[in-house]
């Protein structure tokens, strides 16, 4: 099998912008297992779950900028983390006006 090659955060070119029903947020607290607290752009704090697809591939820390998809029910309090932005990608979002946290 072998080890996976580690990509540095500066080389990632893929960028995901928020679409309809998605919000940008800032991770405020790690709660364990696959749950985190995220302060979203609409001013609400949501309990978010890291999708299974991302759980073992992407490490999320406090202070990271993430893309959140609120649930259909309990949309004010719950959501799913869809994407984690690197520091460089977060700067690009700030310059383009998407991020104002």
Average pLDDT per consecutive 10 residues, the chain (101 residues; last block may be shorter): 56 76 94 93 94 85 94 91 92 90 73
**The pLDDT of residue 57:** 86
Predicted TM-score (pTM) of this structure: 0.81
**The pLDDT of residue 7:** 55
Domains of the chain: 21-96 (2.40.50.140)
Phi-psi label, residue 43: left if phi above 0, alpha if psi -120 to 50, beta otherwise: left
**The pLDDT of residue 18:** 87
**The pLDDT of residue 5:** 56
Candidates 86, 78, 100; CA nearest to 25 is: 100
């Amino acid at each position: 099998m072998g080890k996976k090659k580690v990509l540095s955060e500066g080389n990632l070119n893929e960028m995901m912008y928020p679409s309809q029903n998605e919000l940008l947020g800032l991770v405020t607290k790690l709660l364990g297992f696959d749950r985190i607290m995220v302060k979203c752009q609409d001013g609400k704090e949501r309990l978010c779950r890291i999708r299974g697809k991302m759980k073992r591939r992407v490490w999320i820390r406090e202070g990271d900028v993430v893309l959140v998809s609120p649930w259909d029910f309990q949309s004010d309090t719950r959501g799913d983390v869809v994407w984690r932005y690197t520091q460089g990608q977060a700067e690009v979002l700030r310059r383009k006006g998407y991020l104002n946290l």
